[in-house]
Structure 1
Amino acid sequence: MDAGPPAPERPQKFRRWLDDLARRYDDTETVYSVPSWGLSLMLHALLLLILALLIRAGNGTSEKKEIKGAIAIPAIGDLSSLVEADRAGDPFTKEQTDDQPSIGLETIEPIARFAQPEIPNLERFAPDLSGPNGDPKGGVKILNEASGAGTLRGGAQFPSLSADISAPFSGRQGLDRAQLVRREGGTVHSEKAVEEGLEWLVRHQAADGSWSLNFQDHCGADPCPAERTMESQTAATGLALLPLLGAGYIHNVKCRHQDSVRRGIEWLIHNQQPNGDLFTGPPGIAYMYSHAIGAMALCEAYGLSRDSNLKEPARHALEFIIESQNSQTGGWRYAPGQAGDTSVFGWQIFALRSGHLAGLTVPKSTLKGCSDWLNAAATDSKKVLYAYQPGHEVSPIMTAEALVARQLLGWPRNHPSLVKGAGRIAAHLESNKDRNIYYWYYATQLLHNMKNKDWEKWNPEVREGLIGAQVKDDSCANGSWDPFQPNQDRWGVVAGRLFQTSLSILTLEVYYRYLPLYRTSDTDGLEANAAPPEARKKPQAGRQP
């Protein structure tokens, strides 16, 4: 094969070829009039231009597009926007602001809408979304604002809650959750703590779908620390489901923890008695606590999923609470019909609120009884401070719990007794450094609803304190909260790690678990609207919502 002319001869041959080419197109004499070196220069320039364009196009197909943005995390985790975003999609405020959300507003596919929103520029801290094998169970219509499903209807309602709420749990989902995290005071780190806590709960679910406060037998990895506490499968199952539901995971939409939520709900329903009672153990101090926690889980699962199969179990669970209220005091205690204490009372009214948000009826007579109990448990004439039971000493914990109940029953945010009581709680929390997740859980909700200077001080302290106390290691305890470390919690010995972990997660979900209580304007309180005591009638079983 001819290797071609030597290198020095190639330029001469190329010029001769150009001259010959020019002579062939001599019609206008334009090309021929140009010197051969000029044509060479022109063609070389053209070739270089084409080559540059080809290289640029090739790079364009393989070049990774970067989202420019930075994350600034000072002591309390302030965030700057990571993606192009605006205030669109936030249905809870009319505030006009150019301040962008810290968590991205990427388009979220419907299948992932009810799960953890993606957080850009953060290493993934949980597995990809996945559900059990086969199609999601139920195939029911999902609750959303467009469909209007879940609209509150009929019967007596909590006066402080708007009757036109169409998606009362929507803050837990997708873009709404991302917006609320940023706006209400959460951070990427608080969301990471939530997801790691949920992973710990899921790892310790029993094969039958339940959870146990003594969870060690269900440990799916390394042996867990030997801790023995009180026992209640109903309470433990409800306590595990509530933070999973609080983060938007439901049983009939494909999502990360779909199967765990489904099996937990099925266990509660399978063990429910015909009268609606959810408790599985012998009578004791855990009885009504446990039922209320399980009832909250059923009501919220129904409210989130709109699965018609859950309506009757949730309604019956709510009916059991209504029937168990003491007809004289309006309170609840360990067993149905007992006079009451403020601690058990708080869980019952939370369950009633969850049922109400799901569209189930709560009789006004029941709410009037709740107000009667709070009036009796108040330790002063202004109803600022509260006790465990009427006639007992003031308790900061019971005061926080009672004031949250007052908010739910209709006290406006500027009610003088509420303002003063919340201020007392904030001052006590600041001065008392004892670890007490039960207290923090209620106090955080109280101050978050107030949204004043006390909340601005308390939120970063409790948020960063919980994030810092979470177990972060390679053991099976990773993601949980140790009831004894870094210092012992008030309820550590009695309730244990699962209780500690569940309430810690729920406290970190305060930003979106329920829509802001005072969204537009405060309404009249229960005392101004409820029927007089003589008009109260014991509710009959079998009412339809």
Structure 2
Amino acid sequence: MASVPRQTDDAAEGDEVLSEGLDAGHGSLVDLSGWLRFSPPWLLSALLHLFVVLVLGLWLVSGKSDKPLVLDVQYAEDVGDQLLEDPLDLEMDNLLEEVDEQTLSVTPLPPVDDPIAAPELSLVAPNPTFSTFSSNADQVGVALTGREPGMKAVLLKAYGGTESTERAVLDGLKWLERNQKKNGSWSLKGPYTDGGTTENVEAATAMALLAFQGAGYTHKDSAGTEFYGVVRDGWERLLQSQDDSGNFFRGSGFNHALYTQAQCTIALCELYAMTRDEELQGSAQKAVDYCVKTQSESGGWRYIPREGADTSVTGWFVMALKSAQMAGLDVPSETFYKAGLYLDAVARNQGSHYAYQKRDSPSLSMTAEGLLCRQYLGWRHDDDRLRRGVYYLLENRPSWSTGKRDVYYWYYATQVLHHMEGEEWTKWNNVTRQLIPEHQVRSGREKGSWDTNIDQRHGRTGGRLYTTCLSLYILEVYYRHLPIYQQGLLSGF
């Protein structure tokens, strides 16, 4: 016969206490100490853990941090001391607004062939092999949204911008503001020191406006933004230079004509994309049409419409037409296709390096410009030709050494590396974010500018406004255009 285990004395005593408590209180546990004393250990442990979980949950729900956005400093190697030793608080001078919530979509976006383009409406093209892009897009492509205040703060943090870089941008824009003429234009030759050797009012004005727009400033005062009057006056002057064909150039130097057209077109298409100002649409489309008509048979552009080609001028036109595409303006696909054929003709080392013209050897600046064009024309992030070209650029990071100062090269290479993101971008950015602000003029009449010593190849010809604008474009890269491939911050969205 199976035996029944005998109840222990402690257990029996516990039952007795519980029974007495229920009898006395009609169901209430009046003898709490006795109940706790004789309850099973697992029950007490469960109650304790439940209490801890409830307390932690209430603490997490009610917690709120009011700390400002702070960036960690990463020091560049062998390029001098970091400019700031204190924590980098991006709330200085009200430049950046506090980000209260995530500004990116949390819904996965469908894959697209061209993430920077506005939505398309296919039309019948004159040549049925190609399609055209419609100007009737409902929204702007995402490439310029990084200039908006909330996104600007997020992208600065994500891609390594610092208080030093933003202070340098602000000082540079203030220098441009001080040197704007009463009629709204800028000059390549002065009134500042170290002016360029040739005057070109339209190019100077377009370059200055690109610097303001790259930091998010437009001619609209809806947010009461600083510099809006500067941008407004600049555009009132520049639009007066455009003729009925869409051409902006009014100077005498024949080698400036198409450079000027491309720069003005980039600036105008960006402004239209950023503001959707309907008064700009017609002028922007005329500028784009003129760019298309001036393309040479080889697929590139040079000094004279439809005659010759070089990689330097062609790069500016590819960017102008991509800016138009971002704004939803009409750009024939055939124009991009022909530009790709020209790049094939000046490519070297299986497409990883680029020359100025067909007969030339490759150079750093033309390689950077050619690779940027390839990125915008559709080369994939993992394309072996692109990656070999990027490694070549990384082997030639910016340096203040004699003979290596070339802000034109740095400007194009910075964009290429920013689009690559990841380790490649970090290696490049650790140098540029220190080197460029470190050599900005800090006092006196030219405070905020960069003198011509920053570019030993073209600085004296272009002058102080040229070197200052290119330096500003480099420091605005964190938010000026969103990375094409979205390998980092945007990859999960």
Task: Identify the TM-score tier after normalising by the shorter chain.
Answer: 0.7 to 0.9
SS state at 1:286 partner:
helix
Whether 1:206 aligns to 2:219 is: no
SS state at 2:397 partner:
helix
Tell me how many residue pairs correspond in the alignment: 388
Asked whether the equivalents of residues 342 and 388 of structure 1 are also in contact (C-alpha less than 8 Å), the reply is yes
- Aligned-residue identity in percent: 37
CA distance in 2, matches of 1:469, 1:395: 25
CA distance in 1, matches of 2:107, 2:172: 30
SS state at 2:183 partner:
coil
Q: How does 1:87-236 map onto structure 2 within 5 Å?
A: 88-91=102-105, 151-154=119-122, 156=131, 166-216=141-191, 224-225=192-193, 227-236=195-204
Q: Which residue is equivalent to 1:28?
A: none
Q: Look up the equivalent residue of 1:201 and give its one-letter code.
A: L
Q: Which residue is equivalent to 1:17?
A: none
Q: Deviations over 1:37-95 (max 9, x none)?
A: xxxxxxxxxxxxxxxxxxxxxxxxxxxxx96679676464674798996762234998x
Q: Deviations over 1:310-366 (max 9, x none)?
A: 001111111111000012x10100110112000000101111111111111211110
For 1:334, which of 303, 306, 323 is the aligned residue?
A: 303
Distance 1:488 1:70, change over 3 A: closer
Give, in angstroms, the shift of residue 187 of structure 1: 1.1
Give the alignment's TM-score, normalised by structure 1: 0.66
Give, in angstroms, the shift of residue 295 of structure 1: 0.9
Asked whether the equivalents of residues 449 and 516 of structure 1 are also in contact (C-alpha less than 8 Å), the reply is yes
Whether 1:289 aligns to 2:259 is: yes
CA distance in 2, matches of 1:181, 1:467: 16
Give, in angstroms, the shift of residue 251 of structure 1: 0.7
SS state at 1:401 partner:
helix
Asked whether the equivalents of residues 152 and 163 of structure 1 are also in contact (C-alpha less than 8 Å), the reply is no
Q: Deviations over 1:494-532 (max 9, x none)?
A: 0011011101011111111112211279xxxxxxxxxxx
Asked whether the equivalents of residues 141 and 326 of structure 2 are also in contact (C-alpha less than 8 Å), the reply is no
Distance 1:520 1:335, change over 3 A: same
Whether 1:479 aligns to 2:436 is: no
Q: How does 1:25-104 map onto structure 2 within 5 Å?
A: 74=73, 76=75, 79=88, 88-91=102-105
Q: Which residue is equivalent to 2:33?
A: none
Asked whether the equivalents of residues 157 and 356 of structure 1 are also in contact (C-alpha less than 8 Å), the reply is no
CA distance in 2, matches of 1:72, 1:169: 23
Whether 1:513 aligns to 2:480 is: yes
Distance 1:423 1:266, change over 3 A: same
For 1:454, which of 424, 435, 440 is the aligned residue?
A: 424
Unaligned runs of 5+ in 2: 1-64, 76-83, 92-96, 109-116, 124-130, 489-493
Higher helix share: 2
Q: Look up the equivalent residue of 2:166 and give its one-letter code.
A: E
CA distance in 2, matches of 1:69, 1:275: 50
Give, in angstroms, the shift of residue 447 of structure 1: 0.8
Q: Deviations over 1:120-155 (max 9, x none)?
A: xxxxxxxxxxxxxxxxxxxxxxxxxxxxx9655445
CA distance in 2, matches of 1:80, 1:259: 28
Unaligned runs of 5+ in 1: 1-65, 95-148, 217-223, 522-545
Distance 1:317 1:303, change over 3 A: same
Q: Which residue is equivalent to 2:205?
A: 237
Asked whether the equivalents of residues 99 and 153 of structure 2 are also in contact (C-alpha less than 8 Å), the reply is no
For 1:465, which of 435, 458, 461 is the aligned residue?
A: 435
Give, in angstroms, the shift of residue 283 of structure 1: 4.6
CA distance in 2, matches of 1:358, 1:210: 25
CA RMSD between the two structures: 2.9
Q: Deviations over 1:80-121 (max 9, x none)?
A: 798996762234998xxxxxxxxxxxxxxxxxxxxxxxxxxx
Q: Which residue is equivalent to 1:493?
A: 460
Asked whether the equivalents of residues 90 and 179 of structure 1 are also in contact (C-alpha less than 8 Å), the reply is no
Whether 1:401 aligns to 2:369 is: yes
Asked whether the equivalents of residues 99 and 150 of structure 2 are also in contact (C-alpha less than 8 Å), the reply is no
CA distance in 2, matches of 1:187, 1:268: 33
Q: Deviations over 1:201-242 (max 9, x none)?
A: 1111111111111120xxxxxxx4353422111110010000
CA distance in 2, matches of 1:419, 1:308: 41
Give the alignment's TM-score, normalised by structure 2: 0.73
CA distance in 1, matches of 2:399, 2:107: 34
Asked whether the equivalents of residues 213 and 231 of structure 1 are also in contact (C-alpha less than 8 Å), the reply is yes
